[in-house]
Amino acid sequence: MASPDIFTTSSEQETFELGQTVAATVTPGTFVLLHGDLGAGKTAFVRGLAAGLGADPDNVSSPTFVLVQHYKGRAPLVHVDLYRLESGAAVDDLGLDEMANGAVVAIEWAERLPRSLGASVTVRIEDLGGDRRRVTIEKTNTE
């Protein structure tokens, strides 16, 4: 496992741009595992990821109530939010492995995953106060 890259962003736009940068490094079949408190900027990061993959970032919203959203771009993006799921069985019922066939899968609240997934990029977003965020990005290749 490579050592993590650590960034500090000072606005939602910078968090978005960091998501765009990460999009250039992922391929279909990759899981982007997002960690951070409510309001930390996970969805802003996913908007940037979507833009970087060729999808319209204005269509991206937090899928908290629908759990899964799909966006079409150069590479399809599946956006998953595990916040409302309590059990590992409920998470497994989503079929995350199947979603990754031909798509990048961004998962908010990834700490609720009951098991590790395939090749992934872990993104941890910490609120430093105001609009500042510390974003730690670490790639794991478990294929």
Could you report the per-residue pLDDT of 30-80, keeping only the tens digit for each? 999 999 998 899 999 999 999 999 999 999 987 666 688 899 999 999 999
Q: What is the CATH number of the domain that holds 93?
A: 3.40.50.300
Q: 89 falls in which pLDDT band (50, 70, 90)?
A: low
Between 89 and 49, the more confident residue is: 49
Domain that holds residue 134: 5-140
| pLDDT single digits (tens) 99-114 | 788 999 999 999 888 8
Around 28, how many Cα atoms within 13 Å sit in the side-chain half-sphere?
Answer: 12
Around 75, how many Cα atoms within 13 Å sit in the side-chain half-sphere?
Answer: 24
pLDDT of residue 63: 63
HEC string for the chain: CCCCEEEEECCHHHHHHHHHHHHCCCCCCCEEEEECCCCCCHHHHHHHHHHHCCCCHHHCCCCCCCCEEEECCCCCEEEEECCCCCCHHHHHCCCHHHHCCCCEEEEECHHHCCCCCCCEEEEEEEECCCCCEEEEEEEECCC
Q: What is the pTM of this model?
A: 0.89
The encoded tokens of residue 20 equal 């765009």
Domains identified in the chain, total number? 1
